Amino acid sequence: MKISSVKGFHDVLPDESARWSWIEQRAREIFARYGVVEMRLPIVERTELFSRSIGTTTDIVEKEMYTFTDRDGSSITLRPEGTASIVRAYVEHALQTRAPVSKLFYLGPMFRRERPQKGRLRQFSQIGAEVIGRDDPAIDAEVVLLLHDLLEALEIRGARIELNSLGDATCRPAYREALRAFGEAHRDALCENCARRLELNPLRLLDCKVPECRQATAGAPLMLDHLCDACRVHFDAVRAVLAREAVPVQLNPRMVRGLDYYVRTAFEVVAEGLGAQNAVGGGGRYDGLVKELGGPDAAGIGFALGVERLVLAMDDHVAVQSPLPDVFIAPLGTAAESEALHVAHRWRRAGVRVEMTSGGKSLKSQMRLADKVGAPYVIIFGDDELATGTLTVRDMAAKRDFPRAIGLALPGAELRDALAQLAQQTLERSA
């Protein structure tokens, strides 16, 4: 009996994992340019961390968390997102005492028990960044610039950053009430979910995907028209910096975020070719969260990108491969095989990427394999070679044996030089 993986939990096969590594490496490069450093966070947290931060009436906390009772009776949860953990760690380690501003990134798996479909999994990976310690609009703009540079570096097809302001504790309550009253007046036309959540989470009216709901809320009041002066000034300043840097962002006054802790600047990234799940990332400001979780009154802002969706949205021409071998050894016969193993080990220890076979395969099948793994050179290793101590190198692209044999006792570093020389000669020959 085969055992399959759990629904919504996927393997990343070698073909695809090269893209994952490429994404992670590019992201690290861009984070370094902005002085954003890595945090490695635990996958399990106390359940109350998420109910207190994300909000008890959100989809995530209401129905999507993997929550377990541990053997000691405490309730623990597989993290559904990274911001809450970052803030928990910031507070726990008093990071405000180490630097006035903490600029942090994380990457790793998140868990939400959603209905699996294309681009929606129960275990998915996020790359996220958070800046904690300042609330001025320059920081918001810098985070969006970072996000923009990152999307460009990752060559995401048709990536678009949408921007909105969600107001703050001064102006949002009145807006929320206006929206709730609007929803109440149109209650009969709302979907069951929105009608049910009208009291507790009316903001979600605006991003409901049900067509009838969308129609019913077409004329709903918008936060942007209800911002207090401070939020308006803040938002205008963010947009002014982005305009000056010529970063294309699109205002989306209907965008709300699925988590309660966001205030003021919020953004979402959408990409092409993803179907219904076209958001590759999102983020925003969360000025009250650090305090809410027992820390100082420190402001914060950040974003997270979903790696699976980035992989789907990456331009096809981005050629990403696992590194190819430098050389393939094709031994012929038992004696040659054992010698080949010895030589391969020596060369590998010297930094050469060596692929080889064993099990008495014919030369033809070994050449086919060498071709398949993309080895540029094959070293054929038979009785004659063993007897004379020299090796013949076949140049796979030129489809010919290299006329000058390479010595069997050649140390790895020299082999590499010899192969590089060979490649140069091939180039010159074909020029």
Which residues of this chain interact with ligand AMP, rule CB under 6 A?
81, 112, 114, 119-121, 124, 126, 258, 279-282, 304, 306, 308-309
Query: Which residue, 281 or 288, has its beta carbon nearer to ligand AMP?
Result: 281
Query: Which residue, 119 or 412, has its beta carbon nearer to ligand AMP?
Result: 119
What distance in Å separates the CA atoms of residue 10 and residue 304, rounded to the nearest whole number?
20
Least distance (Å) between residue 308 CB and ligand AMP: 5
Least distance (Å) between residue 82 CB and ligand AMP: 8
Query: Which residue, 284 or 412, has its beta carbon nearer to ligand AMP?
Result: 284
In the complex, which residue's CB is closest to ligand AMP?
306
Query: Which residue, 82 or 325, has its beta carbon nearer to ligand AMP?
Result: 82
What distance in Å separates the CA atoms of residue 193 and residue 392, rounded to the nearest whole number?
72
Counting DSSP H helices and E strands in the chain, the numbers are 15, 17
**Structure tokens, 231:** 């939020």
Q: Give the DSSP per-residue string, 221-290.
A: --GGGG--HHHHHHHHHHHHHHHHTT--EEE-TT---SSTT-EEEEEEEE-SS-TT--EEEEEEE-TTHH
Query: Which residue, 232 or 254, has its beta carbon nearer to ligand AMP?
Result: 254
CB 356, CB 323: distance < 8 Å: no
Q: Return the closest-CA partner of residue 179 out of 209, 195, 197, 202.
A: 202
Q: Each residue of 212-224: b (16+ CB within 10 Å) or e?
A: ebeebbeeebebb
Least distance (Å) between residue 148 CB and ligand AMP: 16
335 phi/psi in degrees, rounded to 5:
-60, -45
Radius of gyration of the chain (CA): 28
Residue-level length of the chain = 431
Residues 6+ apart with CB under 8 A from 114: 8, 64, 120, 121, 122
In whole angstroms, how far apart are CA 31 and each of 20, 315, 380? Answer: 16, 21, 46
Least distance (Å) between residue 401 CB and ligand AMP: 50
Least distance (Å) between residue 76 CB and ligand AMP: 20
Least distance (Å) between residue 199 CB and ligand AMP: 23
**What sign has the CA pseudo-torsion 287, 290, 293, 297?**
negative
Query: Which residue, 207 or 414, has its beta carbon nearer to ligand AMP?
Result: 207
Query: Which residue, 249 or 304, has its beta carbon nearer to ligand AMP?
Result: 304
CB 344, CB 393: distance < 8 Å: no
Least distance (Å) between residue 90 CB and ligand AMP: 18
**DSSP-derived pairing of the beta strands 354-356 and 327-331:** parallel
3-class SS shares of the chain: helix, strand, coil, % to 5 = 40, 20, 35
Query: Which residue, 274 or 422, has its beta carbon nearer to ligand AMP?
Result: 274
Least distance (Å) between residue 121 CB and ligand AMP: 4
Least distance (Å) between residue 34 CB and ligand AMP: 20
Query: Which residue, 110 or 375, has its beta carbon nearer to ligand AMP?
Result: 110
